[in-house]
Amino acid sequence: METAIVTLATAESSSSENTNTNKMIMSSSSIATSSSSSPPTLSRYESQKRRDWNTFGQYLKNHRPPLSLSRCSSAHVLEFLRYLDQFGKTKVHNQICPFFGHPNPPAPCPCPLRQAWGSLDALIGRLRAAFEENGGKPEANPFGARAIRLYLREVRDLQSKARGISYEKKKRKRPPPQLTSSAPLPLPPSSSTTGAT
């Protein structure tokens, strides 16, 4: 009889432990489910980087013949950058254009629209990071190749001349230091001196 009671008590305690364990598993799985159902929102930079990476991947798929990422070279990246020029919104004047070197031309002209240098520079930075995040080796990164840096420098120089805009980094203006006078400020008259006669 005593053995039966001990066995029953042991069974009840193990049953309550199992119930508690099950509750803990269920609550932890519900936490995991709720956290996995709402992925963390990406920053603007991360979202843009993902879009750029997908765009470049699509470009490689549509390439004739289609290219795999492992066979992609700096020459293909240059092709991609030139391809993007057709979607550009920056007017880049030819040397024969009367508005060559004018940042704000007074009239329309037939000069082509291109991708702005700053946009291309930022794009290459994002793609360079995305390449390594997606398993690419830093030493094989086509976006970090010397040819790409030279191309970007060439685009920057051409656009700065054609549009009359300097791309040199401007020095940040510091506010002028406030002058402190050594003379003490006059004190306002007190009511006790004005009231006395």
Over the stretch 60-116, which tens digit does the pLDDT of each residue have? 998 888 888 888 899 999 999 999 999 998 888 888 988 888 878 888 888 888 999
So what's the pLDDT on residue 150? 96
Query: What are phi and psi for residue 113, nearest 5 degrees?
Result: -90, 140
Question: HSE (CB half, 13 Å, CA atoms) of 119?
Answer: 13
Residue 63 in tokens: 């390439």
Query: Rounded distance, CA 87 to CA 110, Å?
Result: 16
Q: To which residue do tokens 């024969």 refer?
A: 96
So what's the pLDDT on residue 186? 58
So what's the pLDDT on residue 91? 86
- Given a cut of 70, the residues of the chain with pLDDT beneath it are 1-39, 165-197
